[in-house]
């Protein structure tokens, strides 16, 4: 790698940090990360040690060329560490930030939030992602605690803490098989509870008949073990219908009032911009994951031993992020696309989506087709005229929200 390449790698990567690893107080049926505990069978504690925390914060800040450095904290469930742990995070960030601005994003199930948390998060301007799948019956179908008990009411109590303390939040909703058949109920409910920034994440998992040598049953595409798609995974076309149904309401009533990440990124595609969401970007590899002990992996969905890049206490973080192994991983998203995808008319918007979902074969038998292909084709074809209109408005320096009147008149 040349010095120029290394500098670019250092400037571009982001880290999702797991300071408590896969440990969580919930036992969500569809969670892909809980079983990662099997990768660390010798561990009695998954709490990140202070010396590692300090080294990570120092290295990450130093590796970023941007004047703003964003730390992303996830789990498992990071609130299990307590607010005092993140007070230490803030102190270390202040110690090493220099002239850079520090931002913190924090993903939580919300069930452990209380006023101590609310005061801390508000005082330190944390952006909180709340995991909630919709109304009570939808949410509690899969999101249960270790005793199998529902969690919806506890999530709402946590959300109320954020609202009382005026903490900025968005919602993350997993689109599973049950959710996908209630799109408007889910969308309207999220608006009802005050969410104005919505993330929809499709759940797709292959389950092996038997665990691999690491004790994992949720495997990578084309794993040698026999696998089948889980019963909670969203169906391909139904996912596209889910997105289309919400889009049709949003494009007539909520543009510029409610922000849906998938719709925003689609508009980037129609504008000819680089997509800001990794699953739709042409290449990937710049969004890495660090476990509680400093192990760095290629991606949140590729936390497997053969995707481990090393440990930041043994080799510098920036060096690991720029390893040829990781560069190859990122470029393979584009280079491994089958001909069927390369010739697709919505490739510019999809780019084959996440490599984790590419375990089908094309009609001609070529490997590498995304499981969700039918849904994305349905969705992107449907939104094309609306996206063309909004892109045209932006290019003319007019508000894209003009699409709402245009959309309503179009179907009169």
| Catalytic sites, residue numbers | 300
List the beta bridge partners of residue 173.
200
Q: Which residues contact 182 (CB under 8 A, 6 or more apart)?
A: 134, 135, 138
Residue 412 burial (CB count, 10 A)? 4
What is the DSSP track for 376-388? Answer: HHHHHHHHHHHHH
Question: Which candidate, 277, 329, 332, places its Cα nearest to that of 304?
Answer: 329
Q: How far apart are CA 412 and CA 399, in angstroms?
A: 22
Taking a C-beta distance cutoff of 8 angstroms, is the pair 40, 293 a contact? yes
Cα-Cα-Cα-Cα dihedral of 268, 192, 27, 181, to 10°?
A: -70
Q: How far apart are CA 78 and CA 267, in angstroms?
A: 33
Question: Which candidate, 242, 111, 263, 138, places its Cα nearest to that of 197?
Answer: 263
Q: Which residue has the tokens 């169906």?
A: 235
Question: Which candidate, 254, 188, 200, places its Cα nearest to that of 403?
Answer: 254
Q: Alpha-carbon torsion 333, 335, 339, 343, what sign?
A: positive
Task: Using the CB atoms, write b or e for 189-225: b if 16+ within 10 Å.
Answer: bbbebebebbbbebbbbbbbeeebeeebbbbbbeeee
The first and second tokens of residue 139, run together, are 């949410």
């Amino acid at each position: 790698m040349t010095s120029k390449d290394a500098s670019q790698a250092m400037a571009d990567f982001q880290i999702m940090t797991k300071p408590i690893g896969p440990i969580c107080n919930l036992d969500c049926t569809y969670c892909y990360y809980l079983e990662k505990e099997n990768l660390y069978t010798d561990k009695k504690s998954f709490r990140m040690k202070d010396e590692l925390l300090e080294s990570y914060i120092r290295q990450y800040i130093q590796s970023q060329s941007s004047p703003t450095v964003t730390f992303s904290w996830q789990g498992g469930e990071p609130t299990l560490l307590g607010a005092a742990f993140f007070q230490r995070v803030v102190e270390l960030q202040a110690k090493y930030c220099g002239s850079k601005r520090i931002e913190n994003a924090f993903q939580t199930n919300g069930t452990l939030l209380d006023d101590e948390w609310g005061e801390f998060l508000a005082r330190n301007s944390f952006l909180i992602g709340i995991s909630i799948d919709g109304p009570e019956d939808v949410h509690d179908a899969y999101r249960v605690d270790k005793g199998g008990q529902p969690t919806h009411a506890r999530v709402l109590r946590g959300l109320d803490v954020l609202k009382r303390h005026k903490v900025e939040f968005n919602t993350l909703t997993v689109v599973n098989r049950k959710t996908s058949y209630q799109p408007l109920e889910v969308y309207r409910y999220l608006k009802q509870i005050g969410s104005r920034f919505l993330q929809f994440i499709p759940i797709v998992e292959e389950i092996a008949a038997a665990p691999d040598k690491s004790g994992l049953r949720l495997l990578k595409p084309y794993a040698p073990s026999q696998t089948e798609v889980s019963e909670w995974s969203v169906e391909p076309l139904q996912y596209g219908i889910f997105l289309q149904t919400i889009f049709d309401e949003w494009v007539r009533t909520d543009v510029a009032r409610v922000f849906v990440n998938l719709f925003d990124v689609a508009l980037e595609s129609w504008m000819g911009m680089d997509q800001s969401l990794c699953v739709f970007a042409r290449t990937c590899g710049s969004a890495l994951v660090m476990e509680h002990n400093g192990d760095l992996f290629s991606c949140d969905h590729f936390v497997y031993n053969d995707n481990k890049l090393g440990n930041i206490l043994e080799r510098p973080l920036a060096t690991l992020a720029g390893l040829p192994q990781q560069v190859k991983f990122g470029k393979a998203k584009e280079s491994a696309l089958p001909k069927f995808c390369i010739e697709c008319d919505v490739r510019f918007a999809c780019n084959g989506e996440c490599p984790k979902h590419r375990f089908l074969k094309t009609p001609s038998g070529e490997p590498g087709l995304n499981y969700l292909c039918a849904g994305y084709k349905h969705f992107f074809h449907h939104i094309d005229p609306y996206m063309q209109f909004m892109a045209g408005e932006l290019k003319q320096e007019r508000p894209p929200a003009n699409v709402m009147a245009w959309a309503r008149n179009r179907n009169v």
